[in-house]
């Protein structure tokens, strides 16, 4: 099991690329992105570009993101399952998600 926390500030944005298996995203009230995933550090690559955080996730992972943080999910594998926490009320392709941010799935 791999776990890491990435401090963010300003108006953070998260992109999740690639991967297979499940991806669960929930909002929280912390200025950080928390990642927990099956596998090890080699299965997850994180790149930062200003306020943007780009995550290449190769295995199942669970993410906590700041409420209001836009999230883009680009799936490389057709079998990736994306679950958004119930309290966030997000929908794929929704232009706005008041509690968790926007979730766009490509």
Q: Which pLDDT belongs to residue 57?
A: 87
pTM of the model: 0.73
Tell me how far apart the alpha carbons of residues 1 and 94 are, in angstroms, rounded to a whole number: 31
Q: How far is CA 84 from the centre of its chain?
A: 10
Q: Inform me whether the pLDDT recorded for 53 exceeds 90.
A: yes
Q: Specify whether the CB–CB gap between 53 and 19 falls below 8 A.
A: no
The whole domain housing 83 covers: 2-105
Number of domains into which the chain is organized: 1
Q: How far is CA 102 from the centre of its chain?
A: 11
Alpha helices by DSSP H, 1-106: none
Res. 83 pLDDT band, cuts 50 70 90: low
Q: For residue 101, is it left (φ>0), alpha (ψ between -120 and 50) or beta? A: left
Q: What is the pLDDT of residues 26-45, one digit of tens each?
A: 999 999 999 999 888 888 99
């Amino acid at each position: 099991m791999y776990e890491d926390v990435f401090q963010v500030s300003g108006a953070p944005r998260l992109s999740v690329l690639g991967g297979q298996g499940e991806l669960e995203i929930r909002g929280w009230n912390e200025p950080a992105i928390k990642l927990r995933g099956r596998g090890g550090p080699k299965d997850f690559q994180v790149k930062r570009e200003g306020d943007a955080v780009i995550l290449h996730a190769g295995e199942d992972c669970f993410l906590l993101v700041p409420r209001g943080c836009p999230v883009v999910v680009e799936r490389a594998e057709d079998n990736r399952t994306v679950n958004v926490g119930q309290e966030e009320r997000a929908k794929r392709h929704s232009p706005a998600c008041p509690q968790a941010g926007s979730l766009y799935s490509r």
